[in-house]
Amino acid sequence: MTFQEQIQQGIPNQLPQPKPYETNINHAPKRKEILGEEEKKLALKNALRYFDPKFHAELIPEFKQELEDYGRIYMYRFRPDYEMKARSIEDYPGKSEQAKAIMLMIQNNLDYAVAQHPHELITYGGNGAVFSNWAQYLLTMKYLSEMTNEQTLVMYSGHPMGLFPSHKDAPRVVVTNGMMIPNYSKPDDWEKFNALGVTQYGQMTAGSYMYIGPQGIVHGTTITALNAFRKINKEPKGGLFVTSGLGGMSGAQPKAGNIAGCVTVCAEVNPKITKIRHDQKWVNEIYEDLDALVKRVREAQENKETVSLAYLGNIVDVWEKFDQEDLRIDIGSDQTSLHNPWAGGYYPVGQSFEESNKMMAEDPELFKEKVQETLRRHAAAINKHTEKGTYFFDYGNAFLLEASRAGADVMADNPTLGREFKYPSYVQDIMGPMCFDYGFGPFRWVCASGKAEDLKKTDEIACAVLEEMIKNSPEEIQQQMKDNIQWIKGAQENKLVVGSQARILYADAEGRMKIAEAFNKAIKNGEIGPVVLGRDHHDVSGTDSPYRETSNIYDGSRFTADMAIHNVIGDSFRGATWVSIHNGGGVGWGEVINGGFGMLLDGSEDADRRLKSMLFWDVNNGISRRSWARNEGAIFAIKRAMEVEPNLKVTLPNLVDENLL
């Protein structure tokens, strides 16, 4: 069968042969056993719903074995034989260009070069899934190949509910992931209901079909690192940045450090992912000996090198060793997946990677105890460095939250609402007041032709738009504009593409609309092929996350999720090609609600109309909420937006004299 025929087939009429478990692939860790005997039967019944009853007798023992061996039913037998990668949009079967674009993005999320655990359909973060099993993937791709622009596919936590009649301006796909009743949104609830096959953790861009590899966060980490050095009035050259995690998104850190121009030390316990990042040239050198690492760091500091060094081992050992050696750390953070601390997101010190994985599955209570011991040691070591002058910030991965729950010394001496911790979230000190409040966030695009020359052309278009805009930009956003022009000019030489021909930069609503409009015009003129627009949920208005995206909102509303819900509803009727809303992502299940979108530009007048309507709302929804929280930059930005668009009328806050209070 051809690739197109396999897509159109969906779930095959005859059972494919069982596939061997490939040990050279980076697999998800075994999940802990959480289902009772009756619940295991229910998990099997749920999985077998996808298949003709004549196959059940053969599949039951196989699926039962998967549940016992891995804690989940992945249906490995049904993994497709074709190469998993984003192809040109022209290569996909179908009646709708929009649907073809979505197929392209789904396959990109599962590309072996992009996905963290591709055989388990997990894109990043240890549990950020596109689907729960391979039957869902096959059925979804079949539906997309059949869809017209008068239908909408409804995705129910990985499960394709079906095609429903709609209209051309409706989203082609509506995605929800993990939308639990609040009282059933604890970590163990995810373990249980995910094992039953009825919900999944979509993370942010994993379950939204919008992940573009670590590049998606390289830019944000670069901007954060540059501004962290600015905060301590130090040039990055010769400065030392210490952090941890080389997995899905965290793999961006060493590349970001190189672009910022500092010395980066990043620890990682997984040998496979460390090798992958080195092979991809996202990290320059690997060390397994702490003494050798210390010697190399001193040399790099003295020579003011720009270099990234991976330490294959636990980050706690690095912080403690650098303290003993009195090695000066300028800025520090952590980007392990602490939203997922008990299932592979963070590993205990003093044990091998293999020992930890075994304990995680066989003795989860002891594993949790060891993780919390490690968090206490981790925080104690950081505290020693900050007393010497290190600037430490939480990178929004729930490090401080989980450390506090473990009893670590991370709480502020004089806590205030929103400033409970000893150290700030990077959003509180950097990204929130400098970027999000002004409407700057991670605008991204994918060249659906798959051609590198199209990406080069779009880079040039985006750069030209920004350089024209900066001529008349107010002083308040000059630095943001300059940083992004510098970024896009260096994007090609930094070889950031992994998987699809994609790019990201931070832009405000005006920048996003003008760049998108210029892309659509170039498509119409035949200069480039179609382009998919999107963003990370880690943005101005898509996400309500009290310890990350909305952590610099101090009016008490940071624990509400109205903004994210309004965002996805508003994007839906303003022309998004697909929309998504998730429970969880980045900081953990039950800790955040976040929404995302995708939009196909095809050179049409319809696309031009939709992009202006949707992108304006997508950004200004968040700015208006931030301005109501009395954020100074957001008040400035929303007033400016109202001057540009007379139909925009936003309620502004009246400020109270603190002396009166």
State the binding site for NAD(+).
125-126, 203, 268, 395, 586
* Rounded distance between C-alpha atoms, residue 431 and residue 420, angstroms: 19
Which residues contribute to the annotated binding site? 125-126, 203, 268, 395, 586
Which CB contacts under 8 angstroms, 24+ apart, belong to 523-527? 523/601, 523/602, 523/603, 524/603, 524/604, 525/603, 527/457
CB-count burial class (<10 Å; 0-12, 13-18, 19+) for 5: exposed
* Rounded distance between C-alpha atoms, residue 485 and residue 53, angstroms: 58
* Rounded distance between C-alpha atoms, residue 203 and residue 207, angstroms: 6
Report whether 372 contacts 403 (CB < 8 A). no
The single-letter code of the amino acid at 455 is L
For residue 159, the cross-strand partners are 156
* Rounded distance between C-alpha atoms, residue 203 and residue 115, angstroms: 13
* Rounded distance between C-alpha atoms, residue 46 and residue 378, angstroms: 42
The single-letter code of the amino acid at 117 is H
Compute CA distances 249 → 139, 180, 255, 606, 637, whole Å.
28, 25, 11, 34, 30
Question: Which of 70, 64, 69, 15 has the alpha carbon at shortest distance from 43?
Answer: 64
Q: Indicate the SS3 state at residue 241.
A: strand
3-state secondary structure 400-447: HHHHHHCCCCCEEEEEECCEEECCCEHHHHHHHHHCHHHCCEEEEEEE
- Residue 538 backbone dihedrals phi, psi, to 5 degrees: -70, 80
Number of other CB atoms surrounding residue 275 within 10 Å: 17
* Rounded distance between C-alpha atoms, residue 296 and residue 298, angstroms: 6
Question: How far is CA 407 from its chain centroid?
Answer: 28
Helix-, strand-, coil-residue percentages of the chain, each rounded to 5: 45, 15, 40
> Tokens 């956003």 belong to which residue?
477
Report whether 421 contacts 482 (CB < 8 A). no
* Rounded distance between C-alpha atoms, residue 22 and residue 459, angstroms: 38
Report whether 600 contacts 577 (CB < 8 A). yes
Question: Which of 425, 264, 249, 220 has the alpha carbon at shortest distance from 337?
Answer: 249
**Lookup: tokens for 395:** 């990178």
> Tokens 């965290």 belong to which residue?
250
DSSP label of 81: S
**Lookup: tokens for 90:** 């022209």
**Lookup: tokens for 381:** 């070591």
